[in-house]
Amino acid sequence: MAFPAFDLPALLPPREGQEDYHPGRLTRQDLPEGRPWLVYFYPRALTSGCTTQACALRDGLAAPESVERAHGLLVLGVSPDPVSRLKRFAEKEQLNFPLLSDEDHRLAAACGVWQEKKLYGRVSMGIVRSSFLMDGAGIVRAVNPKVRAATHHDWLRQTLQETPLHQPAGGQAGAKLQAS
């Protein structure tokens, strides 16, 4: 199954030679062909679980000999937060990947992660923490439907080692996303 098309407001990390995160839009077509990518959905920026999860991904992408780097993995975080909140989150935690703002929950609903949740007897709609790992052609190769923030990175490393990820020859970085 192919990952759904999207066109969302985003906070993009600084490009080489720049210091500031910058707002923009990101579409499925902006993603580099040939590189695997992870889309992870999280409920709310600047909360403890989301921070734990994002920082583990940040550190994995930055480690010189990580399995993420060996695969050329691109990470996209998606939450219902506005770009202004994503900017505070990314700057505070020095995140090295784009964060997408799905305020209308369209992408979350298309992926089946906008669901009814119960907390302390209160029922509300929200994002169920989930991850989708795509190969270089955008085909979903692995799904973790109920991610635990503390162990998400372990799941990702193991899945990258065990899952064949098709990499078409000549994949180029998209215009908005530079190779890590």
Q: Mean pLDDT in the chain?
A: 91
Per-residue pLDDT, 19? 82
Residue-wise pLDDT tens digits, 10-50: 999 998 888 899 999 999 999 988 999 999 999 999 999 99
What's the pLDDT band for 167 if we cut at 50, 70, 90? Answer: low
Q: What residues contact 72, with CB distance under 8 A and at least 6 apart?
A: 35, 36, 167, 179, 180
**pLDDT above 70: residue 86:** yes
The catalytic residue among 11, 26, 38, 50 is 50
Residue 117's SS3 state is strand
- Please report which confidence band the pLDDT of residue 172 belongs to, taking 50, 70 and 90 as the band edges: very low
Give pLDDT, residue 58: 96
What is the residue type of 150? Answer: A
DSSP string across 32-43: PTT--EEEEE-S
pLDDT greater than 90 at residue 176 = no
Look at residue 166 in the predicted model and tell me its pLDDT: 60
42-67 tens-digit pLDDT:
999 999 999 999 999 999 999 999 99
121: Cα within 13 Å, side-chain hemisphere: 0
Enter the tokens of residue 88.
């505070």
Name all domains of the chain by residue range, CATH numbers in brackets: 7-162 (3.40.30.10)
177 versus 119: which is more confidently predicted?
119
The C-alpha atoms of residue 61 and residue 98 are separated, in whole angstroms, by 12
Do residues 60 and 24 make contact, with C-beta atoms less than 8 angstroms apart?
A: no
As a whole number of angstroms, the distance between CA 95 and CA 120 comes to 31
> pLDDT at position 168, please?
46
Q: Which residues of 1-37 are buried (b: 16+ CB within 10 A; e: fewer)?
A: eebeebebbbbbbeeeeeeebeeeebebebbbebbbb
Give mean pLDDT, residues 96-100.
97
pLDDT of 90: 97
139 in Cβ contact with 166 (< 8 Å): yes
CB 96 within 8 A of CB 180: yes
Q: Which helix (H) or strand (E) holds 106?
A: helix 106-110
| Catalytic status, residue 111 | no
